[in-house]
Amino acid sequence: MELQTMVTMLAEGFLKSVAIFSLTLIGSLPLGLLVAFGRMSKFKPLQLVVKFYISVMRGTPLMLQLMVVFFGPHYLLHIQTGSDYRFVAVIIGFVLNYAAYFAEIYRGGIESMPVGQYEAAEIMGYSKVHTFVRIILPQVVKRILPSITNEMITLVKDTSLAFAISYAEMFTLAKKIASSQSTLMPFVIAGVFYFIFNYVVAFIMERVEKKMSYYR
Amino acid sequence: MNDILTMKNIQKSFGDLEVIKDISVSIKQGDVLSIIGPSGGGKSTLLRCAAMLETINGGSIAYGDKQAAWTDDNGKVVYAKGKQMKEIKNCFGLVFQNFNLFPHFSVLKNITDAPLRVQKRNKDEVMAEAEVLLDKMGLREKADAYPYQLSGGQQQRVAIARALALKPEILFFDEPTSALDPELTAEVLRVIRQLAEEDMTMGIVTHEMNFARLVSDHLIFIDGGIIVEQGSPDEVLGNPKMERTKAFLNKLEQ
């Protein structure tokens, strides 16, 4: 197989990896905030349920979680899943997993805010929602940005775990080509793709951090 | 003149610790009340109770004729709710010891955001008033600066402007100069004095005795959760009657 053919095939897989990455972020960043609220809730039962959810998501392999999400409906609920379900399962698995990590990052950021910011907002008559959206959250985002970047970089590499349920993203394809052609080349190419992807992610996030450095 | 703030038989405990045992105090319109006393004596807590940042365990609080909190027949404290509470919270402002400016807002936005977003007032009007306030605080050229770029004294003056922008009937100060070095303290005190001359109603917790003597109409000395002594600043500071007041003032002079 020619090098160019390999690159073209892997590039297609790469687009799917990018899709996993993007949809996971779009889903898990907002969901993570909701989970963080649940985790910090004064309503004990909710807090305990959320705590359990987070510990399961962080305490078991993502690869295993993907399998459960993909095969679960069939084996546990006897539901016939369609052919599109493979990709849906990947996204559900990733979003649920990453939301747990993001939730803990949000919680750390929110709890690190000085109480004086809340008191000042309360004295000035801001509603609870206004206080959070206008005063607290913008400052939290700035504080947690380095941790978010970290998770995003891990996520780029984690997309390869979709391999576990044979979703045809870049790594799955690389392995397929490598074994059929008896060559290491696809892995090298995939490695370069991952590296460039992460380089771009780091570059963009650095720009975002710079943009937020107008205050301390 | 009418009482702007009336606090009666206030009690406040944190767990088993009784911080305020029984304090009654009121502030008339245009008056300045200073609260002095040793650390841990309950003076800041009293101010925070007045500002609804702490919940009282007994007694009553009223702003003008609006009841904010009262004790019912079963001895349980009840707070006003909803719209009524909102109106009450509009009556007062508070300047904190460590400023608590919003670091992600410029100086101007710190001052105008709440009048615009919370009070929903006309933008041109709010902007014009903010300019006047900045002028008054000597911060005209700092409108676009961010809090971290300012000295402590400048930050505190922004905090005062921010509180005044909401047009409170009474302004509380919780040790407004305790986080500042002497030079910066002077510039903040000058501003507060100017407000006193303009008949702004104020309640000030302070350690600056000379300042308290200059600005206040009434002075109370709090220790151990009660008012030990009160009166005009000259009476309390110049000729204290109680042993505890004397001991406290002597210690400060040393």
Going along chain B from its start, the domains and CATH numbers come out as 1-89+197-254 (3.40.50.300), 92-167 (no CATH)
Which DSSP string do the residues of B126-152 spell out, in sequence order?
HHHHHHHHHHHTT-GGGTT--GGGS-H
Inter-chain CB proximity A130 and B117 less than 8 Å: yes
Minimum-distance CB partner of A123 among B51, B103, B119? B51
Handedness of CA A31, A34, A39, A44 (dihedral sign): negative
Q: Smallest Cα–Cα separation from A146: which of A210, A102, A209? A: A209
Distance from CA of A112 to the nearest CA of B (A): 15
Q: What is the pLDDT along chain A (216 residues), one digit of tens a residue?
A: 788 888 999 999 999 999 999 999 999 999 999 999 999 999 999 999 999 999 999 999 999 999 999 998 888 888 888 788 999 999 999 999 999 999 999 999 999 999 999 999 999 999 999 999 999 999 999 999 999 999 999 999 999 999 999 898 899 999 999 899 888 999 999 999 999 999 999 999 999 999 999 998
Q: Where are the domains of chain A?
A: 3-211
Q: Is B167 at the interface with chain A, CB within 8 A? A: no
Inter-chain CB proximity B100 and A120 less than 8 Å: yes
Beta bridge partners of B11: B58
Which amino acid appears at position A115 of this protein? V
Round to whole Å and give the CA distance between B27 and B35: 12
Residues of chain B with pLDDT under 70: 1
Is residue B197 within 8 Å of residue B213, measured between CB atoms? no
The pLDDT of residue B206 is: 93
ipTM (interface pTM): 0.93
Round to whole Å and give the CA distance between A135 and A116: 11
Which amino acid appears at position A75 of this protein? Y
Question: Could you tell me where the DSSP H helices lie in B91-208?
Answer: 107-117, 123-136, 152-164, 182-197
The pLDDT of residue B75 is: 87
Is residue A159 within 8 Å of residue A20, measured between CB atoms? yes
What digits encode the pLDDT tens for the residues B127-147? 999 999 999 999 999 999 999
Distance from CA of A125 to the nearest CA of B (A): 6
The pLDDT of residue B1 is: 63
Superfamily of domain A3-211, CATH level 4: MetI-like (1.10.3720.10)
Q: CA dist B218 to B221, B234, B253, Å?
A: 10, 9, 21
